[in-house]
Amino acid sequence: MSQTLFSISADRGWGQRFAIAAQDLREGFGLWRLAWALGMSDIKLRYRGSMLGPFWLTLSTGVMIGAMGVLYAGLFHTDIHSYLPYLAASLILWNYLSLMVSDGCTCFTVSEALIKGMRMPFTVHALRSVARNTIILAHNVVVIAVVFLVMHVGVTWYALWSFAGLGLWLVDGFAVALLLGAFCARFRDVPQIVASVMQIAFFLTPVMWTASILNKNRPASALVHYNPFFYILEVVRAPLLGAPLPLRHVAVAVAISAALCVAAALGFARTRGRLAYWM
């Protein structure tokens, strides 16, 4: 709101829509410090007055992974020394992904008061959601570090590729928030649909189990082969665990992300002018 020239007119088709959406993105990224501070305050507020604060996240994740690690290593008859690090990395990364999707759904509707109160780039709300969930991830990463230390998992320079994958995830998370946030603001049933899709995806994606179990079972391995979540998950998880990451997996993940970005750009340009009306 601090820029001095402003004009807006009724919808004039795609040219104007893309121009307005691009301006929103530009102004929104210019306010990244605000988005970060808002995301921070969300986490602070959630744990204000509690002794451990956001480290409750770390603690509860740690306890869950410890318990599940013992149980599932037994169920799958695998060695806990190799299974526990896998489970810790998989589960924490999956939680991040799934939280970005479900939180992205409500990124505009939870900010209704702000949206109706002042003109602020919608991009800020999407960035805030990404920031909030990334802060949660940062607290949970401690658990991965502890598990790796205790289980003597060797970490090499190769693991740094995870950060490149994480960069891709940030882009994806932002695109998903813009796309689903707008869609869910208009159709209030969508968050429920998305939640059940994510639940199903959790069981169909190799998170608790490894893809290699399915090698002999063709129809089941097709489920993994055509599962977009698998490729997205792999670009961060494989380098972190020191597992090989085929170039094909990277290419598929990048292609999925590109498709997401195109969909988000189209969706956001189409809905931006109407979002405030849908609150």
Binding footprint of other proteins on the chain (CB under 8 A): 1-11, 20, 30-31, 33-34, 37-38, 41, 45, 48, 113-120, 186, 188, 273-274, 276-278
Other beta carbons within 10 angstroms of residue 7's beta carbon come to 4
To 10 degrees, what angle do helices 190-204 and 161-186 make?
150
Give least dist CB 1 to other proteins, A.
Answer: 6
Q: Which is nearer to other proteins, 68 or 120 (CB)?
A: 120
CA within 13 Å, CB half, 252: 17
CA within 13 Å, CB half, 95: 22
Give least dist CB 272 to other proteins, A.
Answer: 8
Give least dist CB 10 to other proteins, A.
Answer: 5
Gap between the Cα atoms of 278 and 74, Å rounded: 50
Inter-CA distances, 166 with 72, 112, 133, 134, 233, Å: 27, 29, 13, 10, 10
Give least dist CB 261 to other proteins, A.
Answer: 24
Q: Which is nearer to other proteins, 90 or 271 (CB)?
A: 271
Give least dist CB 19 to other proteins, A.
Answer: 13
Q: Which is nearer to other proteins, 55 or 278 (CB)?
A: 278
Q: Which is nearer to other proteins, 185 or 241 (CB)?
A: 185
State whether the Cα torsion 41-102-133-126 is positive or negative. Answer: negative
Residue 2 tokens, joined = 């601090």
